[in-house]
Amino acid sequence: MTDFASIAPRLAEQAIELPSWAFGNSGTRFKVFTQPGVPRDPFEKVSDAAQVHKYAGLAPTVALHIPWDKVDDFAALSRHAADNGVGLGTVNSNTFQDDDYKLGSVTHSDPRIRQKATDHHFACIDVMNETGSRDLKIWLADGTNYPGQDDMRARQDRLTDSLSKIYERIGENQRLVLEYKFFEPAFYHTDVPDWGTSYAQVAALGDRAMVCLDTGHHAPGTNIEFIVMQLLRLGKLGSFDFNSRFYADDDLIVGAADPFQLFRILVEVVRGGGYGADSDVAFMLDQCHNIEDKIPGQIRSVLNVQEMTARALLVDTEALAAAQAAGDILAGNGILMDAFYTDVRPMLAEWRESRGLFADPMAAYAASGYGASIIDGRVGGNQAGWGA
C-alpha cells in the first residue's frame, strides 16, 4: 500500500465548496426546525461558512443560491467573503418555489413561464459576472405526477430550447452545470432524472456544459462510482454535490450512511483524473442540517471527504493493475480493502498540525466560543431558511 508521506502533497490540493443554504434553517416536508444563532442574511451565512474553512482548511469558497442569497451589492458580499478568508463560488438557480412553476419551469408548455424561468437564469449569470463565479448550477424540479399529464418528449424539446438560450448567455470562462435527480418532487417522471439525460442535454450544448452528480439523487443500489467513471471518461463530469442517504434524497452528512461508497467514488475520481489542481471537477457539499448544529455539521462533512480521499490516494494502483491483469479477484479486492480500512485520522491530524492547522478541527471549533457568540449576537430579524 502507498505510504501516507507520499500522498500528503496531494491532500493539500483539495478544496470543497460549501453551500450557503446549509447554514440556514431547513427541515422535512413536515416541519422546519429553527435553531438559535442561524444567519439572517447572506453576509452572516458567509461568516459561518468561513468558520469551517478556518478550522478545517478545506473549504475556501461558498456557493450562492438565488434568490435566497440575493443582495443589493454583490461586490460588498464578495469583499465580506474576502475579509473572512473565503471567496464566492457556484451560483445555483431556483425555479421550484414560485407558483408559476407548479407544472414546470424551463419545460413548461406556456412560453411566458418558460421565458420567466430563462430570465431567472439570465439574472443568475449577471450575479456570476459580479462575483467572478465560474459555474451556473441548474437543478430542475420539473416533471409530472401522472401518466398523460403532459407530453414527455415535448418537455425534452422545450428543455433543450431553454438550456440553449441560457448556454448562449454564459461567458467564455463560465460553465453551465446540469444536475439530475431520479424523483421528487415529481413522481411519475422527472425531466432530468439520470446522468444519461443530463449528459445528452449538455453534450448537445457544447464544451462548457457539464453534468453535476449529487450523491443522494440515485435509486437504491445504483453503482454511483460507475457513473463517476463514465462521466470522467466522457469528459463531462463538472461537479459533485456530496451528501449521504439511507432511503432517498436524505441530504445527510456525506459518508454518514455508507462510508465505503464514498471511498469507492473517490477511488474512481482519483483514477479518472477528477481530483487535484489539474482537474476542473468541483467538489461541493449539498446538505441540510435539520437537527444537528450547522457549522460543526459542515466541518464533519468536509473532514469525512478528506479522510476518504486520503484512503483513496493510498490505494496501490500498480499492484491493483497487476492483480486485475492476472485475473486475481481476491488480490484486487484486498488491495482496495487494505486502503479503505486504514485509519488515516492520526496521520491527518499530524499533517494538519505540520501545515499550521488544527489537529482536531471539530474540537477546536467547539472550544472557540463562536457558536455561543452567534446565539447571543443574532437576536431579532428573520432567520434564513426555507419554509415547509
Instruction: Please tell me the predicted confidence (pLDDT) of residue 178.
Output: 99
Instruction: Please tell me the predicted confidence (pLDDT) of residue 388.
Output: 39
Strand ranges, E, within 232-281: 237-242
Bridge partners (DSSP) of residue 385 are 25
**pLDDT tens per residue across span 134-156:** 999 999 999 999 999 999 999 99
Cα distances from 130 to residues 76, 261, 345, in angstroms, run 10, 38, 40
Residue type, 275: Y
Q: Residue 337 pLDDT > 90, yes or no?
A: yes
Is the Cβ–Cβ distance between 130 and 169 less than 8 Å? no
**pLDDT tens per residue across span 190-218:** 999 999 999 999 999 999 999 999 999 99
- Which comes out higher in pLDDT, residue 1 or 320? 320
Instruction: Please tell me the predicted confidence (pLDDT) of residue 2.
Output: 86
Q: Residue 86 pLDDT > 70, yes or no?
A: yes
C-alpha cell of 344?
Answer: 488515516
Q: Quote the CA–CA distance of 180 and 197 in Å, as a whole number.
A: 8
Q: Quote the CA–CA distance of 11 and 18 in Å, as a whole number.
A: 18
**pTM flag (> 0.95):** yes
For residues 3-12, give the mean pLDDT.
Answer: 95
The region of weakest confidence among 1-5, 56-60, 144-148, 340-344 is 1-5
For the chain, how many residues are written? 388
Three-state secondary structure call for residue 133: coil
Local confidence band at 31 (pLDDT 50, 70, 90 cut-offs): confident
Q: Residue 351 pLDDT > 50, yes or no?
A: yes
Q: Residue 345 pLDDT > 60, yes or no?
A: yes
Instruction: Please tell me the predicted confidence (pLDDT) of residue 387.
Output: 52
Q: Residue 302 pLDDT > 90, yes or no?
A: yes
For residues 11-25, give the mean pLDDT.
Answer: 97
For residues 90-109, give the mean pLDDT.
Answer: 98
**pLDDT tens per residue across span 209-246:** 999 999 999 999 999 999 999 999 999 999 999 999 99
Q: Quote the CA–CA distance of 255 and 78 in Å, as a whole number.
A: 31
DSSP state of 281: P
**pLDDT tens per residue across span 248-294:** 999 999 999 999 999 999 999 999 999 999 999 999 999 999 999 99
Cα distances from 180 to residues 121, 132, 151, in angstroms, run 17, 25, 19
Residue with cell 496531494: 10
Q: How far is CA 185 from the centre of its chain?
A: 19
Across all residues in the chain, what is the average pLDDT?
A: 97
Angle between helices 294-313 and 361-368 (to 10 degrees): 160
Residue type, 281: V
Close Cβ partners of 309 (under 8 Å, ≥ 6 residues apart): 11, 14, 266, 270, 275
Which domains are seen in the chain, by residue range? Answer: 14-315 (3.20.20.150)
Which residue from 163, 108, 109 is spatially nearest to 137, judged by alpha carbons? 163
